[in-house]
Structure 1
Amino acid sequence: MKLSVVGIGPGGRDYILPVAQQVLATADIAIGYSYYFQFVEHLLPPHCECIGKDLTEEEARAVLAVNRCEPGKHVVVISSGDAGIYAMASLVYQYASTRTDKHIDLQTIPGISAFIAAAGKLGAPLGHDFCCISLSDLMTPWPVIEKRIQAAAIGDFVTSLYNPRSKKRFWQLARFRELFLQHRDPATPVAIIRQVTRPDETITITTLGDMNVEAVDMFSLVMIGNSQTYSFKNYLVTPRGYMARKPASGQEIQDESFRQIAAQLKRQDISEADRWAIMRCIHTTADFEYEDLYVSSNNAIDHWHDYLRNGGTIVTDVTMVQAGITKDFIKRYNANVYCYLNDEAVLPLAEKEGLTRSQAGMRIAIEKHPDALFVVGNAPTALFELCDQLQEGKFTPAGIIGAPVGFVNVIESKLKLQALQQVPYVIIRGRKGGSNVAASIVNAAFTVKDK
């Protein structure tokens, strides 16, 4: 006894595979949805018994097919599209696995699924990763379907919808659209393909934002592009990759990194200059918390941009900050960077006044460069010294970057700077910061109007 589950394609005669035609020609009994027989009746032998069932009787068809298997008989179950995709194969095999008393020779004959046929009509919509989702909740709980919709939207899959809408299930497609719009641009291309490959085939190209759910029925397949899909004449094209090629040069990699960072920023209360500085901080740390930790005053980044490009002076608390400032910027704009931590006068001054080396270095720097941009990326004592000298009116710097890192007095030193309003500042709140972050803020000031 032999049982074949045959995919008969989407409906057009030319879309029935030769292997399917060969199997149908040997059928003794053919079972399927009554509507489908019009597509295969010319392929069945004259003696074949045809048994048609209603649309909702899938399980009954599977049971009947297994039960009608007898020695010397070939039972064929016809299924539209591919027999294994939202079709009869799984039901037939499931029931056959419970009938251990029957030694049935099973086989599945593939067919061209509706989404494959639709893709051919549309040109090239499946050039990258794709998925299919059935919106029918007759056999799958709707909460499960919603999880799959969310996953497809977030994963940026080209998505084909089976069973998108019927008279009784009219709300699911609208809900799908609502969920997808949470993650996809309203301009995302959408195709509605009705009766694909059949005489009354129609194709409508629209967008996710403009899609008319009322134009969709059970004879329709809906295909939604990914973020790269675009329309071309009456076609949809999904590129093989997300860029013409992967970033290769250092500049390309940096540009792509900044693009990804920018796409994830959320703050709306900052200037474009501060946004750029935040991006530089995140780029050097891969830590998006810096978006919330960043605080500035008095248009600091824009102010420092003009100051530095006119040959300004930078003073750092440690040599690591000095090393992190891009040398090309220093050379191009005749700027100067100084760090007095290891100056020969530091140790005697520190011993005499009971200071840390960082404090002593800042006192010396203030005397030599009272109008410099002071950058602290390591020592909170250096920042305390700057605040004390500023409060006493002993210098008027171009500004102060307060980004020391650590645990002892780090938070307090930043709060003290924030309480002083005399000069422009940038602060990284909390315990985070460091030499690389402090240098990134300086580099942001150099480049803010070039980005």
Structure 2
Amino acid sequence: MKLSVVGIGPGGQDYILPLAQQVLADADIVIGYSYYFQFIQHLLKPSCVAVGKDLTEEEARAALAVNSCEPGKHVVVISSGDAGIYAMASLVYEYASKRPDKELDLQTVPGISAFIASAGKLGAPLGHDFCCISLSDLMTPWTTIEKRIFAAATGDFVTSLYNPRSKKRFWQLERFKEIFLAHRAPETPVAIIRQVTRPEEQITITTLQEFDTTLVDMFSLVMVGNSQTYQFKDFLVTPRGYLARKPQTGQEIQDESFRQIAEQLHRHDISAADQWAIIRCIHTTADFEYEDLYLSNKDAISRWHEYLTNGGTIVTDVTMVQSGITKEFINRYNVNVYCYLNDPETIPLAEKEGLTRSQAGMRIAIAKHPEALFVVGNAPTALFELCDQFPEFNPAGIIGTPVGFVNVVESKLKLQAMKQVPYVIIKGRKGGSNVAASIVNAAFTVNTLVS
């Protein structure tokens, strides 16, 4: 007792696979939707019995096929496209599994599915990950279908729609479009492929925004591109990635990181220069909270760019800040960077005045470089010293990003109150030497990398 489930392709004679033709030629009984027999009748032997059923009688077809199996008989169930994709194979195998009394010789003969045929007509829309979704809620709850639509939209899959629209099921496709527009660009390419491979074939390429759902019927397949899909002549192309490979060099990786960070920023109350400094801080820490913690005044980043690229002077509270400033920038612009934490004068001064080493080092630096850019990334006492000494010196600015718990917040609030001084502050307890150095590096590069 042989039972075959055969995919007869999307309709065109050239799209019926040779293996399917061989199996059909051997069939004693063929069962299928009546409409499909026009595509395969010429392949059947004269003695073959053709049993046509209505479109909605899938279960009856499966049961009839299993029950019709007898020794020496070859029963074939036909499906359009591929028999295993939204077709008869699963139902036939389910019914066969419930009939252990029948020793069935089962096989599934694959066919060219409508979405594969459509992809061929469109050129190269399936170059990357893709999925198929049926919009028919006759056997699947709409709540489940909607979850799958959302997953496809947010997952950036090229998406093919089966059973997209009928006279009674017209709102589902509109809902699909609504969900996709919430997560995809309006210019995302959309193709409507009607009667693919058949004489009546018609292909319409549009965009998600302009997609007219009334052009779609049950003889149509809808294909929506992903974020990289584009139209080329009458084709759709979804890049595989060879011409847009992942970043590999250090510079490419850094630039891609900056791009991804910029896409996720939300503040609109800051300048492009400040945004660039925020990007550098987030790149260093992988912490997007720095966007909200960042505070500046007096167009500080742009002013410091001019100051530094004209050979300015930088003073840091600790050597870690000094080490984090890119050496290429220092050398290119002949910038001097000083840290007096370990200076021979620092310890005697600290002991004499009852200061911390960071505080003493900053006092020495103020005396030697009163017009420098002062960068505090670690010690709140150093920041307090700068605030206490002002206005006895005239700095190019102050970066205040000490990190920790004791006096950290207070030192930043004191700097924030000094409205006359250009500053950048990371509010709260966060910050650190790496963040302070990132802000300096942002000032060096702002005119070339902010767009």
Could you list the per-position Cα deviations for residues 82-121 of structure 1 after superposition, in whole angstroms to 9, with x for gaps in the alignment? 0001111011111211111221111100000001000110
User: Are 2:450 and 1:449 equivalent residues in the alignment?
Assistant: no
Say whether the 8 Å CA contact 1:122–1:234 is kept in structure 2: yes
SS of 1:60's equivalent?
helix
1:57 counterpart residue number: 57
Q: Give the share of equivalent positions with the same residue, in percent.
A: 82
Structure 2 unmatched runs, 5+: none
1:107 counterpart residue number: 107
2:35 counterpart residue number: 35
SS of 2:385's equivalent?
helix
Separation in 2 of the partners of 1:436 and 1:343? 22
What residue identity is the alignment partner of 1:241?
Answer: G
Could you list the per-position Cα deviations for residues 214-256 of structure 1 after superposition, in whole angstroms to 9, with x for gaps in the alignment? 1111111111111111111101111111753332322222212
Separation in 1 of the partners of 2:341 and 2:253? 35
Could you list the per-position Cα deviations for residues 337-381 of structure 1 after superposition, in whole angstroms to 9, with x for gaps in the alignment? 111111111111111111111111111111111221111111111
1:307 counterpart residue number: 307
Could you list the per-position Cα deviations for residues 286-325 of structure 1 after superposition, in whole angstroms to 9, with x for gaps in the alignment? 2222222211112111111111111111111101101111
| Cα drift, residue 427 of structure 1 | 1.2
1:404 counterpart residue number: 402
What residue identity is the alignment partner of 2:399?
Answer: I
What residue identity is the alignment partner of 2:428?
Answer: G
What residue identity is the alignment partner of 1:399?
Answer: G
| Bigger Cα displacement from structure 2, 2-11 vs 54-63 | 54-63
What residue identity is the alignment partner of 2:129?
Answer: D
| Cα drift, residue 262 of structure 1 | 1.6
Q: Is the alpha carbon distance of 1:57 and 1:269 closer, same or farther for their aligned partners in structure 2, counting shifts above 3 Å?
A: farther
Separation in 2 of the partners of 1:416 and 1:167? 70
Q: Structure 2 length normalisation: TM-score? A: 0.97
2:328 counterpart residue number: 328
Q: Is the alpha carbon distance of 1:33 and 1:210 closer, same or farther for their aligned partners in structure 2, counting shifts above 3 Å?
A: same
Separation in 2 of the partners of 1:232 and 1:131? 22
2:152 counterpart residue number: 152
2:229 counterpart residue number: 229
SS of 1:280's equivalent?
helix
User: Are 2:146 and 1:141 equivalent residues in the alignment?
Assistant: no
User: Are 2:258 and 1:250 equivalent residues in the alignment?
Assistant: no
SS of 1:448's equivalent?
helix
What residue identity is the alignment partner of 2:146?
Answer: E
Separation in 2 of the partners of 1:242 and 1:353? 65
Say whether the 8 Å CA contact 1:402–1:417 is kept in structure 2: yes
Could you list the per-position Cα deviations for residues 137-174 of structure 1 after superposition, in whole angstroms to 9, with x for gaps in the alignment? 11222222222222222221111111111111111111
| Bigger Cα displacement from structure 2, 422-431 vs 16-25 | 422-431
| Bigger Cα displacement from structure 2, 115-124 vs 393-402 | 393-402
Say whether the 8 Å CA contact 1:315–1:337 is kept in structure 2: yes
Structure 1 unmatched runs, 5+: none
Separation in 1 of the partners of 2:408 and 2:243? 43
2:171 counterpart residue number: 171
What residue identity is the alignment partner of 1:95?
Answer: Y
Say whether the 8 Å CA contact 1:228–1:242 is kept in structure 2: no
User: Are 2:296 and 1:296 equivalent residues in the alignment?
Assistant: yes
SS of 1:321's equivalent?
helix
| Cα drift, residue 31 of structure 1 | 1.2
2:427 counterpart residue number: 429
2:275 counterpart residue number: 275
